[in-house]
Each structure stands twice: as structure tokens, then as C-alpha cells.
Chains A and B, each alone.
Chain A
Amino acid sequence: MAATITIEPKMHKQPTAVDEKRETILQTEDLSIYYGDNQAVKHANLDIEKHAITALIGPSGCGKSTFLRSINRMNDLIPVSWNEGKIMYEGVDILSKNINTIALRKEIGMVFQKPNPFPKSVYNNITHALRFYGNRKKKQLDEIVEESLRKAALWDEIKDRLHDSALSLSGGQQQRLCIARTLAMEPNVLLLDEPSSALDPISNAKIEELILQLKEDYSIVIVTHNMQQASRISDKTAFFLNGSVIEYGETEKIFTNPDQEKTEDYISGRFG
């Protein structure tokens, strides 16, 4: 029965993941990416955290995939693509000319929307790149195959089919094989471009579970059109619109109480 009517916050703002501090593994500094005259990413400044899952969301054409691809220089393959700004990784600007992109892509691996296994056996899919780099010891390769498949939560399902064609696997298994193939290179960062959008709900759930497990050992950046997926698995979310980062923050905040109206409209399905 207090006479005062001032409203004091009560029972909220308990310490949550919001207050967690993680190390940064990648930083983009004023990153702009162009295709010819068209600026696809505009002055992005994002700190990607170590051992965290960062989701990039936004409508088609917002620049999120271009941003993702720039992190391991996949945009180099597009002749009209050029960029400004920096992407700092372990103290080095990976956009600088003298970067060995092959070595970079070992460190920063990528998995694409559609499973793209080589038309080879499961075993050879994983060992192909290792052999290319000169590793020909059978025992060692066997170990890497098993370890990569275990990490990709695929070993138990296909350990008896290692010499079958990868193309005989289901879509979900093929995608986990692609993840295993990337893991075999012992990367630090995993870039996932809509890795489960072409999969059925069960395979999707397996991929999500896998991504959560991989967080222990890798830093993950994922582009997804699936809002529930972003809210379920990511620690941080960046919302892109027309090439700009509109809002970047803890996923919990972005999906419950975003600061920007545009973010709210997008995650609520009001445009995009």
C-alpha cells in the first residue's frame, strides 16, 4: 500500500548469456563489398566471437551470403567482385593481396546450401584434400576419416559404407559428409551457407544438433533463412538489410526484444 507510484523494475535482468564475454576470432572493419558498381555489403563492422555460433539473417539480396563468402575469399572467384575495408583474422588482414587463399580456406572452411560431395567414395571424399596436401599414410588417413565422421555425427550410420559412393547417401548424410570433409582439414572457423535448408526436418534437426556440438571446437558463422533455426542455435545474430548491418547482438535479445523496428518486422515475418 505504498503511496509512491514510481515503478521499479523487479525480478528481471538476471545475469544471462547477454553478460557473457567471449573472445573475438574475426573482425570486419568497415567492410564494403562490390559487384561492379553495385555495393552488396556496406561498411560492415562485426566482431565474430570465438567458440560461438553467429547467425547472419536478412531477406534475399541483403548481403549476408556475400559477407559470409568474403570471410574465406570465395568472392575472389567472381571476377567483378572487389572490396574495401579489412577482415582481421589472427592479426592479419585476410583481404590483403599476399594471402594464400588455399591455406586460408583450410583454416576457414565452408559448407554450402546443397550437399556437394565429390562423386567418389565416402572415404575418398574425406581423404581427397589430405592426399593433395601429401598425406598418404593409410593408417593416419583411416584415423582422420573416422574422427571427422564421428565429429560430424555420421560415423555410426555409415561406418560400414566407407567405400560406397557418397552419392548413395541421403541428402542429410551427404551434408554431414561435407561437414566431415571440411573438419578433416582441421579448420578454426566454419562458414555455413544455409546448410540445412535443402533437408527434411529430421536431417535438419541432426545438422542443428551437430552445429551445437561443433561450437566446442570451432567458431561458426551461419547464414540461414530459417528464423527458428537462428534463434535455436546461435549465440549472436546479425540482421542485414540492403547491404547494411541493421542490428547485431545476442540472439536472445534480437529474438525477444530487438532495438530496431526493422529487425522486429523482419523476424516477425512482416517483410522479406
Chain B
Amino acid sequence: MVAREQFQVELTALRGQIISLAHETEKMLEKAMEALYNQDIELANEIIAYDEQLDEKELKINEDAILMIARQQPVATDLRRLIIALRISSDLERMGDNAKNIAKAAIHLGENHGLTIHPALNDMKQTALKMVDLSVKAFEYEDITLARKLAELDDLVDNMYGEVVREMLEETATNPQKIQHIMQMAFSARYIERFADHTTNIGESILYLVKGETLDLNK
């Protein structure tokens, strides 16, 4: 009983664009962290340049969704599907910005800074990547159980972040000459934490899609 085939085709294409954008933010975070740990300035610059492409893709998703709203005049779940497409693409764009900011931090730190990047940042990144993966699956299958799991992982990231920042604060007390560098590391931790927050927003969008209500996954 599938009528409105054109609408279905367009919707599937739009969802495909979102999923691919999500995978790109994943890749950007991974590369940004690689640049940070390996003091790879060239890679960091590549990431910064790549962010522009991400912005364009977000714009394309927005335009497509708005056009579909105007032409197909969807209601109920169909309308919410397009509304969350707008929201999620904006979250993904911000996630790209967070990865870009980590790349900028890598540049600020420069080469041969002689500082060990806190290993907890890597753990935070791993969890954040898992969260992207989970949010993509939740989006793909419109699965609220998966969406809700994001809240658990977000708590994990928040806790790691709190811990890292506390340790770094202590270190600034003992090594005040390194304060600029430590700040960059703390910023990076903050960017990962924000990156993860946006994946919980995606989870909230999926809950909104399925239940038609606004719920908070990020407390």
C-alpha cells in the first residue's frame, strides 16, 4: 500500500545524505585526534579545510528538506522526519566544527611541544565514536531503544571529561609554564564532550520522531 512513491524516494535519498554526513563527522573526529596525538600539522590543516565541505553538505540537506516540505506538504510522522532531518544535519555540522576545533588545538600546540596528550582523551574519543555509530543506527532504524542508550554513554563521556579537567587543573599548579599547552588539551577534551552531546541531540530527535514528544537525553 505504498503510495507517494516520489516522496519515499526523496526521503530515502535525504536519509542517505544524513547517514553519510554522520560517517564523515566520525572520520573527522578520528583524524583530528590523530593529528593531536601525532603532532601532525598537515593533517590538522586538511581537517580544517574539509569542514567547509561538511558545511556545504549540511546546506544541501536543509535545502532538500525545505523543498520537500513545500512540495509534498507532509503531516504527522512524515513531517517530523523532515523536521529532524533539519535538526540532525545541524547537529552533525556542529560535530564537524568540534572536530575542526581539535585540529586547531593541534596546530596551537605545534610540533615538539614535549607534552604527553592525556590518554583519557583517546578513551573519550572512542566512546564518542561509538555514540555516532549508535545514533546512526537509531536514525536508520528509527529505534528509540538505541536512542535512549546514548544517554548512558553520554554520562560516561561527561564523567571522563570531569576527571580529565580536574587532573589538568592540578597539573597547571605544578607546571605553570605549560599552562598554554594544557589549556589546549583541556579545550580538546571539551570539544569531544560537546561532540558527544550532539549525538544525544540526535537521539532526542529520534525520540521526537517516534513519540511526537520532546524528551531530554542530556542531563
Contacts and interface: CB of A to CB of B under 8 A. Distances in A.
Interface of A: 1-5, 7-13, 227-228, 231, 255-258, 264-265, 267-271
A257 B76 contact: yes
Interface in B52-85: 73-79
A211 B67 CA distance: 30
A3 B219 CA distance: 9
A268 B73 contact: no
Chain A interface mostly: loop
Interface of B: 1-4, 7, 73-79, 148, 151-152, 155, 158-159, 162, 207, 212-217, 219
Contact of B155 (A1, A7, A8, A270): A1
A270 B162 contact: no
In the A-B complex, the 10 residue pairs with the smallest Cβ-Cβ separation, listed nearest first, are A257-B212, A10-B216, A1-B158, A5-B151, A12-B214, A2-B219, A12-B213, A268-B78, A270-B3, A269-B4
Nearest to A6: B151
Contact of B75 (A4, A12, A227): A227
B184 to A, nearest CB: 23
Nearest to B3: A270
A3 B155 contact: yes
A10 B38 CA distance: 43
Contact of A8 (B79, B158, B216): B216
A5 B212 contact: no
A7 B207 CA distance: 11
Given A5-B148, A5-B152, A255-B75, A270 B2 contact: yes
Contacts of B74: 268
A256 B212 contact: yes
